[in-house]
Chain A
Amino acid sequence: MRTLPPLARRRFVQGLAAGGALAALGGWRAALAQSHPAPTAELRGAEFHLEIGETPVNFTGAARVATTVNGQLPAPLLRWREGDTVTLHVTNRLREQTSIHWHGILLPSNMDGVPGLSFDGIDPGQTFTYRFDVRQSGTYWYHSHSGFQEQTGLYGAIVIDPRRRDPIASDRDYTVLLSDWTDEDPMRLFNKLKVMPDYYNGIQPSVQSLRADAASRGWRAALSERLMWEQMRMNPSDLADVSGATYTFLTNGATPAGNWTGLFTPGERIRLRFINGSAMTYFDVRIPGLKMTVVAADGQDVRPVDVEEFRIGVAETYDVIVEPQDDRAYTIFSQAMDRSGYARATLAPRAGMQADVPALDRVQLLGMMDMGMAHDMGGGDHGMQHGSGAGQGGMVEVKHPYPAERGVGNSMLPDVVSTRLDDPGVGLRDNGRRVLTYADLHSIREPADNRTPSREIELHLTGNMERYMWSFNGVKFSDAKPILLRYGERVRFVLVNDTMMTHPIHLHGLWSDLESPDGAFQVRKHTITLNPAQRLSYRVSADARGHWAYHCHLLYHMEAGMFRAVVVE
């Protein structure tokens, strides 16, 4: 039996649907696009009732059913207070099992919400009560950890106000939750990827693109690079497995035409809490005309840094301060990393105002550095490789110690990798804008436990795009054994990205304290992005007992096996 959510909630989502329908009629750039003045669905307090159900939505002109919380997509913003004990009653009104994971929140393992690891999941008709102490503040989010419910809409923001005065003062405070919506059944989508991994890739190397390349740098260089990729059986355009070919990108649940709008009065300090709640999409975010001051990453305050653009990996959060002085509208432009589409929202003094929407950037393909080639193959004039890299942890030769790295599940073994924290990643290199990199992120506070790690756990991110296999060390989840940490120890995780894709790696329950290239603590995060052929290290204090999930936060990579259990005992 299907229980419909309350009528008022449905109307809210159908309001958003009007934007989606409009998009289908008039195109994304439709000048008459309707704007929604910030429909913030916020729940505040220490006790919450959340009902997970199905809600009809329409983002593209096609009626679909989303997985929602209290009938809302995104799920309601939960506002907690540091030091409180929160109680969350989660009721399952679906016909299948569900769960909620509180992403980046420190809590007992049995409250973490991963079926099979932390608890048994929430069966249809059942209510599970989560209760835990809130021991941190900042911007986080929550999402389902069951099946593909995260793809179909089950994600929402968490904002935790600090116990004491917030050092980051602002006049207004908005969450900006980015996500990717598909009208397709995610299971079908996953099967398509398994049958034809480049199904959604519309930027593949072709004779047409070869001619364009040759026109800009000569046939010799263009051909030699093309042949090198062909020889390796690799694809330089493999920037995103799932693209705008099926995705509609949303800001706070609104399509680009729907144009979510946050209001301001010129001269105000606005805090924008960006959250990437996508299943698969990296976004490059900018607000033309406004400088953004990044003040927090993954909920943790960082030394303020001024940027014009930042890349937000799946599951990451960034808080930025903007101070618009003029009586005009500004576009929050979040383009997908593969430039197949964008999410769009507006900051405006009055509802209905809007600013120009920039054109998508040109696609930047993967280069020699992403391949981890020891030597430049010659003939190539790739400006992007130089400058980024050497400064922040130069090239090091990499060993591939695990036998399965050379097995069926891994098709690429880089010769050299580099830490290159100052590399903004493919697509943002040398784009003429001041782009945030991990090298810019420095936590304001040092971790309470900042002991020198006593040992290293080295994991290689592995994959075989040809077969759509994803894993750590060439071993997929079901063939692996849990990673063991001793309670109280401080361990260094060393991650090496063998693959040519960018992966956001998330460790539940324990902080990931990213290190500088020389091995010192730099910034505290819960999700860490690795570029192709990159090596990063971070420290982990095993200060919470239990079973924790550890995985790539690209949903279909995780389901394909890029997942490990971590046991702290």
Chain B
Amino acid sequence: MTSKTKRLGACALAMTLLAAGAHAQSAATDHGAMDHASMGHGAPAAPDAPPAPPPIGSLPSSDGAGERGYDSYGIHPHMMDNDPTWQVLFDKFGMSRNRDGQNALNWDGRFWFGTATDRLVIKSEGERENGGGSDGKVEAFWSHAVSPFWDLQLGARRDIGTGAKRNWAAIGIEGVLPYNIELETTGYVGSSGRTALALKAEYDLLLTQRLIFTPELEASLYGKSDPERGIGSGLSTGSLSLRLRYEVTREFAPYIGVSFERKFGQTASYASDAGASRSQTAVMAGVRFWF
């Protein structure tokens, strides 16, 4: 491992631990503070008035639960609190056209199945150029809730499209930052000491109840160059996309948008060598849908 890959690996791990740690810390904060007795007492009752009731919080307190579970009482209610559900969601599914007149199909979708706290998540993202190459990834995760707003995700990724097919082990966090910014961060470890980090953040700004503006930032970092896939080490690509969608229904929302992508460092050099530009602007149109 080079020192750079170590730094990257450590960075991914730190981000992951940050979210998990915040949860652990808060869970550890004071329990057993059930002592309400000090919360004050009512004024002494006048001689002929009925005795004042004990103030709320002044009596011995507990959550009332006994030691034994439902079975020992023969209780088997039919609740749905563990029933799983599922969703197929394509945040992006449409065409783009860049400055050079190149058209491409873009997608960014996922399927999940599970409960509120444990899910199987399959994600795929990528693009296929008309008459050209394609680039993308498919990932599968076990996604486990670690705090109200954050999931820890463990799984694997496979790169698809033009170039060598790489396989990675993946660990990430996904959730909602304060100010309702959705964030996905995933660290990857592949064969031959390859490491990578992917970041994605987006925000939904409702202009009206149906018209929604979504800025989205993405970045990819690699610990090691991979000339076969045209990837240099360090920050390789960054992109900003701005989309405007109209929710005809919650499930079906056509969008239009524009994206700016830039390659950095060695990745940019590989692109130049191949006759492609370092930065690219594209307009896009498609539909966000789920079922």
Contacts and interface: CB of A to CB of B under 8 A. Distances in A.
Given A115-B78, A565-B77, A206 B64 contact: no
Contact of B148 (A227, A410, A537): A410
Interface string B21-40: 00100110101111010000
Contacts of A549: 77
Given A207-B207, A457-B61, A565-B73, A406 B54 contact: no
24 contacts: A147-B78, A199-B250, A204-B206, A207-B206, A231-B179, A232-B178, A402-B63, A403-B27, A406-B26, A453-B59, A455-B60, A455-B62, A456-B36, A458-B61, A458-B62, A477-B81, A481-B68, A482-B70, A492-B59, A515-B53, A519-B53, A519-B55, A521-B53, A559-B81
Contacts of B53: 452, 515, 518-521
A320 to B, nearest CB: 30
Given A206-B207, A561-B79, A565-B75, A406 B59 contact: no
A442 to B, nearest CB: 15
Interface string A442-472: 0000000000111111110000101111000
Interface in B39-69: 42, 51-57, 59-69
Contact of A401 (B33, B79, B176, B208): B33
Given A482-B65, A547-B73, A567-B73, A467 B59 contact: no
Most buried by A among B62, B148, B149, B207: B148
Contacts of B75: 116-117, 482, 547, 565, 567
A464 B23 CA distance: 15
Given A233-B176, A466-B148, A482 B73 contact: yes
Contact of B209 (A147, A204, A478): A204
A39 interface: no
B169 interface: no
Nearest to A207: B207
A76 B202 CA distance: 53
B54 A519 contact: yes
B78 A116 contact: yes
Q: Kindly name the residue among A454, A466, A473 whose own CB sees the greatest number of chain B CB atoms within 10 A.
A: A466
A205 interface: yes
Contacts of A480: 65
Contacts of B79: 477-478, 558-559, 561, 563
Nearest to A116: B77
Contacts of A204: 206, 209
A399 interface: yes
Nearest to A231: B178
B205 interface: yes
A408 to B, nearest CB: 4
Given A408-B146, A477-B79, A567-B66, 20 more contacts: A116-B75, A116-B77, A116-B78, A190-B80, A206-B206, A396-B57, A406-B26, A406-B29, A408-B116, A457-B61, A466-B148, A466-B176, A467-B117, A467-B145, A473-B63, A481-B65, A549-B77, A561-B79, A567-B73, A567-B75
Interface string B68-100: 111001011111111001010000000000000
Contacts of B27: 403, 406-407
Interface of B: 23, 26-27, 29, 31-34, 36, 42, 51-57, 59-70, 73, 75-82, 85, 87, 116-117, 145-149, 176, 178-180, 205-209, 250, 290
Contacts of B26: 406
Contacts of A517: 56
A494 B64 CA distance: 11
Nearest to A468: B116
A482 B66 contact: yes
A230 interface: yes
Contacts of B65: 480-484
A245 to B, nearest CB: 9
A401 B32 contact: yes
B31 A403 contact: yes
Given A195-B87, A403-B27, A484 B81 contact: no
A190 B180 CA distance: 24
B32 to A, nearest CB: 7
- Central interface residue in B73, B77, B209, by most chain A CB within 10 Å: B77
Of all A-B residue pairs in the complex, the 8 with the closest CB atoms, nearest first, are: A561-B81, A116-B77, A457-B64, A484-B66, A206-B206, A519-B53, A411-B148, A483-B64
Given A457-B63, A494-B57, A560 B180 contact: no
A192 to B, nearest CB: 8
Contacts of A478: 79, 81-82
B61 A456 contact: yes
Interface in A381-421: 396, 399, 401-403, 406-411, 419
Nearest to A520: B53
A194 interface: yes
Given A403-B27, A477-B77, A567-B66, A466 B207 contact: no
A543 to B, nearest CB: 17
Given A232-B178, A468-B116, A567-B66, A401 B85 contact: no
A361 to B, nearest CB: 19
A202 interface: yes
A14 interface: no
Nearest to B28: A403
B67 to A, nearest CB: 7
A455 B149 contact: no
A567 B73 CA distance: 8
Contacts of B87: 195
Contact of A453 (B54, B62, B81, B205): B54
B60 to A, nearest CB: 5
A143 interface: no
A519 B56 contact: yes
B250 A196 contact: yes
Given A466-B176, A468-B116, A483-B64, A455 B78 contact: no
A66 interface: no
Given A401-B31, A408-B147, A466-B149, A205 B206 contact: yes
Interface in A499-518: 515, 517-518
Contacts of A399: 33-34
B56 A492 contact: yes
A207 B78 CA distance: 43
Contacts of B67: 481
A237 to B, nearest CB: 10
A524 interface: no
Contact of B61 (A146, A419, A494, A547): A494
A404 to B, nearest CB: 8
Q: Which of B32, B62, B146 has most A Cβ within 10 Å? A: B62
Interface in A51-83: none
Contacts of A561: 79, 81
